[in-house]
Amino acid sequence: MALPPLDSPQWQTSFRAFLWGARSIGATVLTLVLFATYLGIGALAHDSGFSLGWTLASTAFVWAGPAQIIVITTLGSGATVLQSAIAVTVSAIRLFPMVVSVLPLMRTEQTKRRQLILVAHLTAVTLWVECYRFLPQVPRNRRIAFIHGLGLGLVSVCLLANTIGYTLAANLTPLLAAGMLMLTPLAFLFSTARNCRELADVIALVLGLLLFPLAAMLNSGVDILVSGVFAGTVAYGVHRARAGMVKAGA
């Protein structure tokens, strides 16, 4: 699907721009990845004992797959609210630089901060990536409307996927239900691996995977935090040591 040229009358109203944004969900494979991920989250929520309404509320109001999975798996396995909150707080820090970098793309002289609240809420890794791809093709004064359309379109797809996944998990044969639950770790593993930009990210991913089973033996109740902070800090240390070597070599 191609967007209309920048000077097209199609961009004259915000409503049209909103619709073009909503239609753009059909123009990206990431929509498919999100669909699979949220299908898995729906199934995971079902098998962890949460209600469908709870699951949909988590998608609409949290709108960050990793955070939702952390909440579902930690609370579902009996961790305290505080532990889950800490793990989510740390996992969500990455949203800060995303919001910071995305807002200048659509701000104009007249833009008020409150007009950007919904954009900030909709910002997550998929939207962040798509902003860089789509926004150069959208007139600046219509970008907020376009992103509202794109973001709400993606949320709708995910709410639908949640509902389907949740319902299927309740009714599928154990074989297919197991397959659907497996969607979550697979989709997140590979999308995280794809987003690794630096050596520190790769080490954090690999060590984080390997250390969790060890940390789980401690049975501390904060296993995820223990392995995450430890693996992440080691990865950062390697990154620093390497930067130091490059400097010393130069």
**Residues in region 133-162 near other proteins by CB under 8 A:** none
Q: Give the total of residues touching other proteins (CB under 8 A).
A: 111
Determine if 34 is a binding residue for other proteins (CB under 8 A). no
Which residue, 11 or 35, has its beta carbon nearer to other proteins?
A: 35
Kindly provide the b/e burial profile for residues 46-71, where b requires at least 16 CB atoms within 10 angstroms of the residue's own CB. bbbebeeeebbebbeebbbbbbbbbb
Least Cβ distance, residue 183 to other proteins (angstroms): 7
Give the one residue of 1, 2, 29, 250 binding other proteins; rule: CB under 8 A.
29
Q: Which residue stretch of 5-13, 15-23, 93-101, 130-138 sits at the interface with other proteins (rule: CB under 8 A)?
A: 93-101
Determine if 171 is a binding residue for other proteins (CB under 8 A). no
Which residue, 5 or 237, has its beta carbon nearer to other proteins?
A: 237
Binding to other proteins, residues 63-92 (CB under 8 A): 63-64, 66-71, 73-77, 81, 84-92
Q: Which residue stretch of 14-22, 137-145, 151-159, 183-191 sits at the interface with other proteins (rule: CB under 8 A)?
A: 183-191
Determine if 229 is a binding residue for other proteins (CB under 8 A). yes
- Alpha-carbon span 200 to 237, nearest angstrom: 8
Token pair for residue 10?
A: 């199609």
Q: What share of the chain is helix, strand, coil (3-state, %, to 5)?
A: 80, 0, 20
Are 141 and 108 spatial neighbours (Cβ–Cβ below 8 Å)? yes
Determine if 19 is a binding residue for other proteins (CB under 8 A). no
By CB neighbour count within 10 A (0-12 exposed, 13-18 middle, 19+ buried), where does 155 fall?
Answer: buried
DSSP assignment letter at 114 = G
Residue 107 backbone dihedrals phi, psi, to 5 degrees:
-75, 140
Least Cβ distance, residue 243 to other proteins (angstroms): 9
200: helix, strand or coil: helix
Least Cβ distance, residue 7 to other proteins (angstroms): 30
Determine if 26 is a binding residue for other proteins (CB under 8 A). no
